[in-house]
Structure 1
């Protein structure tokens, strides 16, 4: 997908190919001297690159800058090679940079891979059409064992098709203290751009939610450009990742608990009314929570065991195997088959889950997606925003206020709001 500049109209990318070039400056445009050698063009553009040629152990989050005072930069190519590591294992992306309006200064947009051999080849043109080239080679500091930030898990995963309420959740293997730098290294791009924001659930987990629900029928890409980001003091990301998923049709479930039914609509058309039995309400635990739920993990068969929610069997507890179970919270709420419940459609007698008959449960399981929305009303227990994927319980301003940057990220291809090179 296209990458737009942060603040200027031109941007140049890189290829991930090793360039066996010497660190020299060349010019063209002059005539031949008496001995047939080129005559230097005194008006040629003079280029400067930082880091300096030959520098070793450059911090990976150091920006590359290229400048010229006597012409305009026409191309910058950055090649990164990490010894004993395949190019695709380092990054699936090209390095891009931002060129100022005058065309005289270029700055890299993203961090560099740790432990890399870096070659920067810059070309500039002078007013007479001559070209100058400068090549710098340097190495970056390696990320040492125990201080290498990696992605431990992510939702959704590449290839998934999800509902319009789906968040993007990224979990890391190490705590992150430079949260703004990491946020600004994670870019979300959708075919239909919308404002969104990351929010940190804890020091190892960040979640992305859009201001409004995703528009259906579109592709979303997540660029985790984490290689070289300083996540905490001396701890660097070591690998970039690229995730792609599809947002499917808009399926919404409207469930008013006292009505004993769940009404399913797809793209605005009512497709099924499902008789249900919800929580009996005799305790907070056994009360189905009201609010916006997002369908989470799915199990064709699942042992519903109250031990997992600190309610031992034998003391109002239970241990029952059910079919077609879909989680809606982390506090034990599921939609699932409950053929043993004779009150489905007439009374609320469950332990807090939404019970369905077998045929309805099978239909619900086969026709819903992770990320579909269930709006539940009619009880005095309000779903907590942090309980499962209850993120739609917060207003957009409340969600955005806990972003480390405090600014929205627009998913139209625009880069994150700040540079990933620095910290907060």
Structure 2
């Protein structure tokens, strides 16, 4: 069906092109004759790359309508220049898709103008896409106030700025936060201080078809959400051989502990409970210890990748509360370890004080809270 346009008559327009927009066949500002419409990408182009912008420009007139649709009839979003001499798409084109561009306009002489072009985008192999491999906390989880938002990708990220821009975070209530790259495949998001209790954190990863590196496109979009539980902090004092639990700002429990001996010191710094395990076995081979031993704990709470745990240590009962004799773990009496296991959630902070050995290795998860806020907030997108 032919489209019929009804336009309000007005004085003749003499309009030049917006700088930097459009392709060929433009007329010079102030030229006479019928309106000309130009489209980029060029008509019948077959290898348009990801991230390309569709541009439509009109010379010697104004655009009245622009529609860019794919084979399913879905329309590409875009916006007009204030004087309607140009239109540009505001989202990237999809890979492996054929598009139709249909533009209508009114010339300075009042005559209607119309143009239809088509183009196709390149196909991209799955191996060339940057996908999110994991998001922690898991979608729907309830975690402690120290758990950062952690995103891991399936391959090294070459353009951190583009990828980081596509990772949008919303918190309820609003809490200021920032991203920081742990390594070339992992980026974390946290606030200046621990999350306020009850905060909801939502990630909207809008990566699909975004050009994130040379010949690399973003994969599927992803949404994930977690909720912050009550405010609970565990503090371990190496010198005093004590562990204190504070909930919602009030002391709740205090237990005796033993921590790492000389050469195996439990590291000072803020960690989080990463995982909860039952019936954990400890052997000298696991950490290459000089002594021969094999023990078993009923309750164990992991706080580093390198093997620091909170756990019951009944074999070390005589030293708990008196001396530091472990290989880096925080040992407790069985009843204390059981209470912690049942009352701690993943993400609860564990703050160790009094040790001469610092905890500052970001790869030895999770050491995010050891980075000063100003450094974290400034980011490290230029350090890839």
- Give 2:47's match in structure 1, choosing from 40, 57, 61: 57
Unmatched tracts of structure 2, length 5 or more: 14-34, 107-112
2:291 aligned residue: 316
Q: Is the 8 A contact 2:63 2:103 kept in 1?
A: no
- Give 2:253's match in structure 1, choosing from 272, 296, 310: 272
1:383-422 superposed matches below 5 A: 383-386=359-362, 387-404=364-381
1:293 aligned residue: 271
Name which one, 1 or 2, has greater alpha-carbon Rg. Answer: 2
Q: Is the 8 A contact 2:277 2:300 kept in 1?
A: yes
- CA gap of 1:112–1:154, structure 2 versus 1, over 3 A, is farther
User: Deviations 1:169-218 (Å, cap 9, x if unpaired)?
Assistant: 22222222122111111111111333333222222222223233222212
Task: Provide the aligned C-alpha RMSD in A.
Answer: 4.0
2:124 paired with 1:143:
yes
Distance in structure 2 (CA, Å) of the matches to 1:30 and 1:99 = 18
Distance in structure 2 (CA, Å) of the matches to 1:218 and 1:75 = 43
- The higher relative CO (CA closer than 8 Å, separation ≥ 6) is in 1
2:244 aligned residue: 263
1:159-308 superposed matches below 5 A: 159-280=140-261, 282-283=262-263, 286-308=264-286
2:335 paired with 1:349:
no
1:360 aligned residue: 336
Distance in structure 1 (CA, Å) of the matches to 2:251 and 2:352 = 17
Q: How big is the shift at 1:235?
A: 1.9
Distance in structure 2 (CA, Å) of the matches to 1:328 and 1:56 = 53
1:377 aligned residue: 353
Q: Is the 8 A contact 1:175 1:232 kept in 2?
A: no
Distance in structure 1 (CA, Å) of the matches to 2:77 and 2:360 = 41
SS of alignment partner, residue 365 of structure 1 = helix
- Give 1:332's match in structure 2, choosing from 307, 324, 336: 307
Q: How big is the shift at 1:381?
A: 0.8
Q: Is the 8 A contact 1:339 1:357 kept in 2?
A: yes
- CA gap of 1:75–1:292, structure 2 versus 1, over 3 A, is farther
Distance in structure 1 (CA, Å) of the matches to 2:79 and 2:231 = 38
Distance in structure 1 (CA, Å) of the matches to 2:120 and 2:280 = 52
- TM-score (ref. length: structure 1): 0.70
Distance in structure 2 (CA, Å) of the matches to 1:295 and 1:242 = 24
- CA gap of 1:234–1:274, structure 2 versus 1, over 3 A, is same
- TM-score (ref. length: structure 2): 0.76
Aligned residue pairs, count: 354
Distance in structure 2 (CA, Å) of the matches to 1:95 and 1:223 = 20
1:90 aligned residue: none
SS of alignment partner, residue 336 of structure 1 = strand
